[in-house]
Every structure is written in C-alpha cells, then in structure tokens.
Amino acid sequence: MAKRILVYTNHYYPEQFKINDIVEWLNSFNYQVRVITCMPNYPSGKFYKGYNFFKSFVERNNNIIVNRLPVIPRGTGSSIMIILNYLSYFISCSLFTLYLGLFIKKYDVILVHHTSPFFIAINPILYGWFKKSKKVLWDLDIWPETLQAVGIIKSKRIINSLKKIVSYVYSFYDKILISSNGLKPIVRERFKGSIEYFPNWADKNIEDLKLDSNINFNIPNDKFVIMYTGNIGKSQNFESLIDTIKYFHKEKNILWVFIGGGRYKRSFINKLSSDNLEDNCLFIDQVNVKQIPSYSNYADAMFISLRDSKVFNNTLPAKLQTYMALKKPLIAVLKGEGEKIVRESNSGIVENNNDYLSLSKKIEDLLKLNKNEIERLGHNGREYYQKIFNSKKRKNQLQKIIES
C-alpha cells in the first residue's frame, strides 16, 4: 500500500517555494500526499486571484490533496499585519489538524516545511495526540537566531526562553533536515536526534536554462548589468548596498537590476531616490520563477548578500544555488558557509566583512577581466552546482528519508 504523506507549509503553489518540487517528487513516488497550507498571499500581501478569506479550497490532482485554510493576508507587511497573518493561520491549521486526527485515516509520515514562523512545527505535535507518525522537520529558518539577527527580538531573556521552546518542539521530531552544514552545531545544541544535510536546489527551468523569447527589456549595451532576484528585505542588508551603488554613480557604467518584492523594497527605492541614484537602478516586480533564466540572460553577474550575523553566516541561501545553476558570475556579500562555496567553486567575487567600499573595489577588479574570464566564473559555478546541488540528488535523498 502506498505511503500516506502529510505536508505542512506556510507557502505552496502559486507561491514560489521549493516545497512545490518536494510535493511533485512525493507524487512521482506514488505516495498519497495531502498538503496543508493557507491562501496564497506572499510576497504581495494580497490574495492571489481566485482566492479569498471566506472561501476554503480543496484541490485534488492525482494523488495530491491540497487544503487551503483561511488566513489574514500580510497586507503592507507591518508588524501588526504579520502577527495577525501568523496567528490566523496557526489557528486555522490547529483546528484542521484536530479534524485530521479525529476523522481522517492515519498518515505515515509528516513533513514540515518551516520557513517562518516556527508555529508551523507545532501542529504535527497536536496530530500526534491522535496518531503516531514519523515526523520530519525541514528547518529553513532557525528560530530564535533569525529573529535576533534581524533585530525583531533583542532581549536575552526572551531569546533564551524561545530556545527552550524550540528545543521542546524539536524533541517530538524523528529527523531534522538542514540546508547548511554550518547550522548543524546550532541545531545539535537543542536536538539529540537525527540531523541530515539537505541543501537547496534550483528550479527545473533554471537547471535546464530554458529561455522565453517573448521576454525582452531594453538595456544599453555599454552597461555592466548586476542583477538581484528575490525578496528585498532586512536580511539582505540592501541599505548598506547603497554605498556601493553610490560609488559607481559618476561612472554610470553599471546598471543594478532588482527583480522581486519585499517589506524593504519601498524604503530601499526611497533612499536611492534621495541620493539621486535611481538612474543607476531598474526595479521589476516579482516574476514567475520559470522566467528567471530569461531575465538573467541579460545579466553580466548576479548579486547576493546576507546580514552579518551568526545564523546568517552559517546559512546557505537557496539563491546561491539558483545563481550558480544560471551559469552567471557571483558578486557575493557573504561570510561562513556561503563564502566557502563561492571560493571553493571559484564562481565569483566575495566580500566577507560587510565592507561595501571593499566590495566596490572588488567589482572594479572584476570589470577589468576580459569577457571570457568573466564567463569562466559562471561556468565554474554551474559545474559545481551540477556536482553538489542538482535536484536529482535531492529527489533521491528525499525518497530515502521517507522510506527509512
């Protein structure tokens, strides 16, 4: 009889997260899969077309059932709206979990996709009151260290209390998956069970480098295009990047292209405008992940950065694997695990001290390389990606995790 898999996630298609691939892979193994998620509203803060607060959706596709539960959308991303978003989904999810436990046939394995908040990891414990299932936590956002890193919580007393709570929640799980080896010591401090390295991978269209000829935007040929795709938030430290953008302002030979949205985007644009730097930058709203290769085709290099903190330094952001798969040179502001990968793969330049003047000098050195030398860095990244991060490796690993 086919295994029954219960997936908990805050984000699912049409939102663009790796859990979409996971569910497809589980389905390809002929498992019976149920996805518990909420009405899609990330990152815009508004419900996607066809979804609303008052309508609970049940979607069926082959062996996949998707239950979309009511949630208060994120709205403008204010602290109050984020809290309401988190709590409303937690309540919906808890009530639905009670229903599953009381009335639905047992699921063999529960897989939790934890981005943020940590509440998503609590409901499988509630399910365990009724039925005993193997529990796997895919921990992509280490709490409370992430909250501390972005300045949401500063009190040591609260941080220590949260660590104890997280440790208690961890104790109900059979296995924890981590996206970076650097996170293992942090997780090991509060979990004595099985911890497994399960790094991110790139979307299939990105791996295949599929281009859409209909995507076209005008960029002058004399510009060196540095592109960023994804969330524009506090974690990426874009406020400091303004110093680098300002450094090249007079020369006007670099165009910064930012594709995506996020809570910090409006503030970032306003600060660029106040320094008269908007002519050096191009902003494009979020695009479908399938279109990323077509946009990155216009880029000479891809930019990635994270704030300097213990948890971020030990993190391997999924964006890194995506950029490497795109076969583009990296301009990275990273320390720790991310820095190690960039240097090991010889796929670009890296600034590890959050020194944006130093970053500017390194970009100048990159610009002095000839076209073939720059392209070679991109090829190096692609080769490293295929060897270490390719999605086929993760798919095989996932099946072993479920079957073990």
Higher local confidence (pLDDT), 151 or 358: 358
- Which of 14-35 are b and which e, b meaning 16 or more Cβ less than 10 Å from the residue's Cβ? ebbbbbbbbbebbbebebbbbb
Closest CA to 391 of 5, 4, 20, 134: 20
Residue 266 makes CB contacts below 8 A (sequence gap 6+) with: none
Query: Per residue in 76-103, pLDDT tens?
Result: 878 888 889 999 999 999 999 999 999 9
- Give yes or no for residue 311 having a pLDDT over 80: no
Q: How many whole angstroms separate alpha carbon 123 and alpha carbon 388?
A: 33
Closest CA to 119 of 162, 183, 62: 162
Domain boundaries, the chain: 4-201+391-403, 204-388
Contact of 313 with 227, CB cutoff 8 Å = no
Q: How many whole angstroms separate alpha carbon 17 and alpha carbon 28?
A: 18
The CATH number of domain 4-201+391-403, selected from 3.40.50.300, 3.40.50.2300, 2.60.40.10, 3.40.50.2000: 3.40.50.2000
Burial of 103 (0-12, 13-18, 19+ CB in 10 A): exposed
Q: Name the percent of the chain lying above pLDDT 70.
A: 99
User: pTM of this prediction?
Assistant: 0.84
Q: What is the mean pLDDT of residues 269-283?
A: 89
- Give yes or no for residue 372 having a pLDDT over 90: yes
Same fold, 4-201+391-403 and 204-388: yes
Query: Per residue in 137-154, pLDDT tens?
Result: 999 988 888 877 777 788
Q: What is the DSSP letter of 279?
A: G
CATH tag, 204-388: 3.40.50.2000
Query: Per residue in 185-208, pLDDT tens?
Result: 999 999 999 999 999 999 988 999
Q: What is the mean pLDDT of residues 152-171?
A: 89
- The per-residue pLDDT for 252 is 66
